[in-house]
């Protein structure tokens, strides 16, 4: 026993049911450090998810546009561009395009006979008979169509949300050119 402190006071300090101030500060510090790392981990995961969903949305729209163009070109009657094989089809300065005659009427535009896909600014657009302009894809930095014999290759480059570029390429041979 301590000769300077009464026995009943020492018994109070040794109570096994309580915590000391040092233990409380250590516990608060550990919880704070764990919380900080948890918040950083969750913030990083949320940022990755946001970037991935932005890229996915951009690519989904572009894939849909490319598939739409390929399907329509596949059933084209006659491709009206007359460039040598392998040369990009450029209709006007800075805008790449492809123009073709429809094989048959569609429900959307039954009276249209000529379809044109072209890059206008940062968008890929479609017109039928020079009217009914529809935007198919946005954030497009380049769109080229090359011809090799009766085979057409379409290439579309997109600017991602963080400056990265994505390029989609596909090829098609119109059925009317197959004998």
Give the mean pLDDT of 157-169: 84
Q: How confident is the model at residue 179 (pLDDT cuts 50, 70, 90)?
A: very low
Q: Say which range, 4-18, 65-79, 106-120, has the weakest mean pLDDT.
A: 4-18
pTM over 0.85: no
pLDDT in tens, 81-135: 544 443 434 333 234 788 877 765 455 555 556 788 888 888 999 988 777 888 8
Contact 55, 158 (CB under 8 A): no
Other C-beta atoms closer than 10 Å to the C-beta of 126 total: 18
The stretches of the chain forming alpha helices (DSSP H) are: 7-13, 21-74
């Amino acid at each position: 026993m301590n000769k300077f402190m009464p026995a009943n006071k020492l018994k109070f300090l040794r109570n096994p049911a309580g915590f000391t101030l040092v233990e409380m500060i250590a516990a608060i510090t550990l919880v704070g450090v764990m919380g900080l790392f948890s918040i950083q981990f969750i913030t990083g995961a949320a940022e990755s998810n946001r970037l991935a969903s932005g890229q996915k949305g951009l690519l989904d729209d572009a894939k849909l546009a490319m598939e739409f163009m390929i399907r329509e070109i596949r059933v084209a009657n006659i491709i009206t561009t007359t460039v040598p094989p392998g040369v990009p089809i450029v209709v006007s300065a800075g805008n790449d395009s492809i123009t073709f005659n429809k094989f048959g009427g569609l429900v959307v535009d039954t009276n249209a006979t000529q379809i044109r896909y072209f890059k206008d600014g940062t968008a890929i657009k479609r017109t039928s008979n020079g009217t009914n302009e529809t935007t198919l894809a946005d954030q497009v930095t380049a769109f080229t169509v090359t011809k090799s014999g009766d085979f057409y290759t379409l290439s579309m480059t997109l600017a991602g949300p963080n400056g990265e570029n994505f390029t989609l390429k596909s090829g098609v041979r119109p059925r009317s050119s197959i004998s």
